[in-house]
């Protein structure tokens, strides 16, 4: 009898905790006009090919003027803005020897690199994140990134600005790519924070969402509620601030910023 009561109390406490962590889902949104192949969380890798080109590319040099930027480096506009904020923060703490080497590449350029350097150094057209306008290669003028102050700072702080180290050390069996401390990918908040805290790469994060469907997190002074769905309509918390991203496979990720 006592064991039964303990089990019931445990279940009740767990239920109350779950309810307290799940906001009321009373706002209906339609995803009928949203492409599953667009957004900050699209998966591009050796198995999954890019399906749509970037929508709003802008010159990185115009925004990141205090950093050395190679000519004609382009990123999605909101990613370039986030990169600028990150470079400014780094400079304030004395980390200011970055070099922006490469960002968006057309399919034609990516294929040329693949044919010139081979599979050990480049991915074929359609399978490189550089074609999304969401990824950027960042170097240091003081040496190799894995040994430089710039590389160490990015590894520790990039997630605060929505970026992740896309191909970290120890995750080669998941990503299929060797450690690249210079390859930075934008996924946005709070996703970058969750991945950093759990030591997940994008593949692992998307698998987590497909299994759990929802989670709530606090970061950068805001509370976020994240949902995964394969449906074209969804109930979300009442909020004017939410973002939708396709995964490039099946499903969408809806991120709501809650009023707290």
Residues with a known catalytic role: 180
What span, in angstroms and rounded, lies between the C-alpha atoms of 182 and 145?
Answer: 6
What span, in angstroms and rounded, lies between the C-alpha atoms of 157 and 88?
Answer: 12
DSSP structure string for 82-138: HHHHHHHHHHHTT---EEEEE----HHHHHHHHHHH-TTT-PPTTS-GGGGT-EEEE
Strand partners, 185: 135, 164
CB 191 within 8 A of CB 226: yes
Strand partners, 223: 218, 258
Q: Cα–Cα distances in Å, from 58 out to 40, 75, 79, 113, 250? A: 16, 6, 9, 22, 29
């Amino acid at each position: 009898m006592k064991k039964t009561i303990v089990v019931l109390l445990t279940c009740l406490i767990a239920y109350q905790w779950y309810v307290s962590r799940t906001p009321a889902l009373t706002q209906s949104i339609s995803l009928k006009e949203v492409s599953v192949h667009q957004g900050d969380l699209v998966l591009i890798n050796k198995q999954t090919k890019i399906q749509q080109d970037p929508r709003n590319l802008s010159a990185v040099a115009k925004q990141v003027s205090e950093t050395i930027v190679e000519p004609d480096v382009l990123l999605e506009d909101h990613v370039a803005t986030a990169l600028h904020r990150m470079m400014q923060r780094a400079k304030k703490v004395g980390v200011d020897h970055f070099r922006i080497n490469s960002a968006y590449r057309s399919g034609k350029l990516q294929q040329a690199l693949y044919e010139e350097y081979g599979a050990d150094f480049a991915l074929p057209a359609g399978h490189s994140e550089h074609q999304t306008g969401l990824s950027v290669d960042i170097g240091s003028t003081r040496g190799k990134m894995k040994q430089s102050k710039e590389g160490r700072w990015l590894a520790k702080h990039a997630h605060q600005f929505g970026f992740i180290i896309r191909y970290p050390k120890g995750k080669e069996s998941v990503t299929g790519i060797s450690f690249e401390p210079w390859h930075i990918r934008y996924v946005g908040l709070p996703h970058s924070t969750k991945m950093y805290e759990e030591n997940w790469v994008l593949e692992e994060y998307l698998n987590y969402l497909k299994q759990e469907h929802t989670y709530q997190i606090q970061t950068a002074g805001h509370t976020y509620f994240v949902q995964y769905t394969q449906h074209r309509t969804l109930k979300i918390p009442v909020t004017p601030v939410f973002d939708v991203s396709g995964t490039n496979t099946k499903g969408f990720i809806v991120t709501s910023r809650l009023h707290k």
